[in-house]
Amino acid sequence: MEHRKLGATGPMTSAIGLGCMGMSGAYGPADRDEAIATIHAALDAGVTLLDTGDFYGQGHNEMLIGDAIAGLPRDAYQLSVKYGGLRDPAGAFIGFDASPRSTKNFLHYTLQRLRVDHIDIYRPARLDPDVPIEETIGAIAEMVQAGYVRHIGLSEMGSETIHRAAAVHPIVDLQIEYALVNRGPEDSIFPTLRELGIGVTAYGVLSRGLISGHWQASSGAQSGDFRAHSPRFQAGNIEANLQIADRLKAIADAKGITTAQLAIAWVAAKGRDIVPLVGAKTRTRLQEALGALDVTLSAEDLAAIEAAVPRDAVRGDRFPPHGMASLDSERG
């Protein structure tokens, strides 16, 4: 397993991470035993970075991971946790809270659910519009000093916020959606990160299956599946968007790899400061994703891929309107 360093002050981690959200129903039903087996298979393959959020399945995801890692040496894995999303009993998002008091409260429950004594990278999932980022980062910094957190990360934040956060405490990485069909971070956010020595953990590298080569217009999304409400998967958009996957498939076929492997390899090739997170919830999809690590893309390959998928190729926003409004990163 290749390793990459998260930022100037962060840990060495596997060159690919496992995003665990889909194991708790975000993209339709998931089998518990298969999810745990997938986590174990990832660790056995040398994947060290496990990414979750305390609001994934209202705590279900953390408890699932806690079961999967129980009894393993603490240095066998790294836990990246997002927090702050507020959900009602029906699972609907009802706000965001990254106040200092809530930050410490959320962390306490996360440690209990995961059954560990510290979190490797702790991060607010969004910018709290009612709390200065300096106060949020200051609270996590206190938890670093107390030993409950090792490193601080950010998620979906723009350049100004990143600068302000880094002035309070070293930031090791920004988690942000980045894929062939989501290249906005390249404009101002990535230059800011590189200026400050902050790494990237890229999620959505397959755009929630859109460019995986496995989704079809007839697939549909079940109730509770994020894609049921995603603009890119709605009629009028999905048909055009799946043509992107078709164009990628033609390039992938010529290289003897899958569409998903090509899309993941493209992200990994865009900088050694970038660690792609793959949202595999089965061992089959995990093995396919890990195959991307064996793919080498030349400058000519990258140019051909980007010519086949121009930046404006995708139709529809990556989140519904209320989700887009919560993204500080969309402000650049």
Active-site residue, selected from the candidate residues 56, 83, 178, 203: 56
Taking the CA atoms of residue 250, residue 255, residue 259 and residue 264 in that order, the dihedral angle to the nearest 10 degrees is: -140
Instruction: Give the number of other Cβ atoms within 10 Å of residue 58's Cβ.
Output: 15
Residue 58: half-sphere exposure toward Cβ, Cα within 13 Å? 9
Determine whether 27 is an active site residue.
no
Provide DSSP, 98-117. Answer: --HHHHHHHHHHHHHHHT-S
Q: How far is CA 290 from CA 2, 26, 264, 287, in A?
A: 11, 22, 9, 5
CB-based contacts of 12: which residues, under 8 Å, 6+ apart? 3, 4, 5, 6
Which residues does the annotation mark as catalytic?
A: 56
